[in-house]
Amino acid sequence: MSIDYALTNEEHLADLDLEQLRQLVGLVEYDGHLDPFPVSGWDALVWIVGNATQTSHFFQSAFGMDLVAYSGPSTGNRDHHAFVLESGAVRFVIKGAVDPASKLIEHQRKHGDGIVDIALSVPDVDKCIKHARAQGATVLSEPHDLSDENGTVRMASIAIYGDTRHTLVDRSRYRGPYLPGYVERTSSYLQRTGAPRRIFQALDHVVGNVELGMMDQWVHFYNRVMGFTNMAEFVGEDIATDYSALMSKVVTNGNHRVKFPLNEPAIAKKKSQIDEYLEYYQGPGVQHLALATNDILAAVDVLVDEGIEFLAIPDSYYEDLELRARIGEVRAPIEELQKRGILVDRDEDGYLLQIFTKPVVDRPTLFFELIERHGSLGFGKGNFKALFEAIEREQNARGNL
Ligand SMILES: [Fe+2]
């Protein structure tokens, strides 16, 4: 299957061309004829939050997304508000309860604000569900059509880790703004003058945190049920420092449009960051979304102006001669990266720039990564150790290690 075939859903691509997308998220060619569960790309990330009205404003004002569709009491949905936001090829659906008896309230009470559904675009919903069922997946909703005057969407859902799901969506016969039941909606929000048209253009990867001992089980689930292949793994030395232990493996679909790193905690002297997540999210769930941008420096500047907070990177990271030698020439002076706390990693294919926000919800659970790829298909492996060791050198200098 060529990339062209896998990505023909033009409304997903907004005004991105394939070459841009290939560069942004590291696409590869693959033969889909033998794929038992062909996935074209991302359809939407569906959030359940405590206040969808305000969260949707936050994603417009701080992250520069556009409101495009809505469902709620005024459209006949008396249960909840749902705001559909887009930035390039990325679609968020933000849901919050209106009816005090809504089931969404229970999800939000347990998990806090979070992502309930990583919806994927597939060309053949029935084929995927047939294969998933045969491989033992839990089918949460059977293949069914939703129709209105804009056409028909076929969809079905399977369960993944925790209370999270994949809804599989074929919208090739649909022209509406999102799904039947949603109406087109825009907002009067005006971006600041001089702000880039979009802060981010595509989704690169979505990371799941699972319990100790469950990472391999979920890797096998993606291999067996969804035909995903293993892309990278970070165990032992890669991610283990005394203080920040976790293990991670990455699975991907055929064209690498959809990438799922899966983390589990590792035993260390202090509580793993993954354990903290599991405690506050009350189980496994989505930890971070990596948003692909073609200008991470401009993106960070805009986000900082909007009050978004990023993890602070010690100066020692940038002053490390070994790191400087390893990363070589990148598109911006290292001082410009240092000023913003942007990390660099290089591998045999190229390099990437990345940065991490602090949690964007009330609990220490969900955060964003911004990533700008220049050929590298990796996840910043070099930074795991360099970053943590740089932090520990700082600790050592203070006599706290
Ligand atoms: Fe990431």
Spacing, Cα 68 to ligand 1 middle (Å): 27
Decide if 172 contacts 151 (C-beta within 8 A).
no
Q: Which residue has the higher pLDDT, 312 or 1?
A: 312
CA distance linking residue 306 with residue 64, whole number of Å: 10
Range of the domain at 219: 202-398
Decide if 57 contacts 33 (C-beta within 8 A).
no
Could you tell me which residues come within 8 angstroms of residue 318 by beta carbon, excluding any fewer than 6 positions away? Answer: 324, 334, 335, 337, 338
Spacing, Cα 184 to ligand 1 middle (Å): 32
Residue 165 lies in a domain: yes
Residues 83 and 166 in one domain: yes
Residue 206 has a pLDDT of: 98
Residue 222's nearest CA partner among 250, 191, 198, 200 is 250
Which pLDDT tens digit goes with each residue over 108-127? 999 999 999 999 999 999 99
Domain boundary among 141, 158, 184: 184
Spacing, Cα 346 to ligand 1 middle (Å): 15
CA distance linking residue 203 with residue 25, whole number of Å: 7
Spacing, Cα 372 to ligand 1 middle (Å): 12
Spacing, Cα 367 to ligand 1 middle (Å): 10
Residues 172 and 212 in one domain: no
Spacing, Cα 157 to ligand 1 middle (Å): 25
Residues with CB under 5 A from ligand 1 (ion): 290, 369
CA distances from 259 to 12, 21, 137, 270 (A): 17, 14, 19, 29
Taking residues 287-294, report their average pLDDT. Answer: 96
Query: Which CATH number fits the domain that encloses residue 167?
Result: 3.10.180.10
Residues 120 and 212 in one domain: no
CA distances from 309 to 205, 219, 337 (A): 21, 32, 16
Residue 256 lies in a domain: yes
Taking residues 239-252, report their average pLDDT. Answer: 77
Spacing, Cα 342 to ligand 1 middle (Å): 13
pLDDT range class, residue 2, cuts 50, 70, 90: very low
Spacing, Cα 328 to ligand 1 middle (Å): 22
Number of domains in the chain: 2
Which pLDDT tens digit goes with each residue over 160-181? 999 999 999 999 999 999 999 9
Residue 218's nearest CA partner among 281, 261, 175 is 261
Residue 394 lies in a domain: yes
Spacing, Cα 152 to ligand 1 middle (Å): 34
Spacing, Cα 97 to ligand 1 middle (Å): 30
Spacing, Cα 148 to ligand 1 middle (Å): 38
Residues 86 and 123 in one domain: yes
pLDDT above 70 for 395: no
Residue 4 lies in a domain: no
Spacing, Cα 193 to ligand 1 middle (Å): 30
Spacing, Cα 377 to ligand 1 middle (Å): 12
Spacing, Cα 146 to ligand 1 middle (Å): 34
Residues 163 and 249 in one domain: no
Residue 212 lies in a domain: yes
Residues 176 and 220 in one domain: no
Spacing, Cα 310 to ligand 1 middle (Å): 14
Spacing, Cα 305 to ligand 1 middle (Å): 23
Residue 209 lies in a domain: yes
Residues 206 and 308 in one domain: yes
Spacing, Cα 96 to ligand 1 middle (Å): 27
Residue 4 has a pLDDT of: 43
Residues 32 and 180 in one domain: yes
Residue 240 lies in a domain: yes
CA distance linking residue 142 with residue 301, whole number of Å: 45
Residue 305 has a pLDDT of: 94
3-state secondary structure the chain: CCHHHHCCCHHHHCCCCHHHHHHHHCCCCCCHHHCCCCCCEEEEEEEECCCHHHHHHHHHHCCCCEEEEEECHHHCCCCEEEEEEEECCEEEEEEEECCCCCCHHHHHHHHCCEEEEEEEECCCHHHHHHHHHHCCCCEEEEEEEEEECCEEEEEEEEECCCCCEEEEEEEEEECCCCCCCCEECCCCCCCCCCCCCCCCCEEEEEEEECCCCCHHHHHHHHHHHHCCEEEEEECHHHCCCCCCCEEEEEEECCCCCCEEEEEEECCCCCCCHHHHHHHHHCCCEEEEEEEECCCHHHHHHHHHHCCCCECCCCHHHHHCHHHHHHHCCCCCCHHHHHHHCCEEEEECCEEEEEEEECCCCCCCCCEEEEEEEEECCCCCHHHHHHHHHHHHHHHHHCCCC
pLDDT above 70 for 35: yes
CA distance linking residue 141 with residue 316, whole number of Å: 51
Domain boundary among 158, 184, 210: 184
Residue 142's nearest CA partner among 151, 160, 152, 130 is 130
CA distances from 248 to 203, 233, 240 (A): 19, 6, 11
pLDDT above 70 for 10: no
- Look up residue 29 and give its two tokens: 């060619």
Decide if 125 contacts 156 (C-beta within 8 A).
yes
Q: Which residue has the higher pLDDT, 357 or 132?
A: 132
pLDDT range class, residue 386, cuts 50, 70, 90: low
Residues 239 and 179 in one domain: no
Spacing, Cα 205 to ligand 1 middle (Å): 7
pLDDT above 90 for 319: no
Which pTM was predicted? Answer: 0.92
Residues 139 and 238 in one domain: no
Residues 120 and 208 in one domain: no
Residue 287 lies in a domain: yes
Decide if 276 contacts 244 (C-beta within 8 A).
no
Residues 220 and 117 in one domain: no
Spacing, Cα 398 to ligand 1 middle (Å): 30
Spacing, Cα 369 to ligand 1 middle (Å): 6
Spacing, Cα 289 to ligand 1 middle (Å): 7
Residue 152's nearest CA partner among 182, 175, 132 is 175
Spacing, Cα 128 to ligand 1 middle (Å): 27
Q: To the nearest whole number, what is the mean pLDDT of the chain? A: 89
Domain boundary among 127, 158, 184: 184
- Listed range (7-21, 66-80, 259-273) with the worst mean pLDDT: 7-21
What type of residue sits at position 238? D
Spacing, Cα 159 to ligand 1 middle (Å): 22
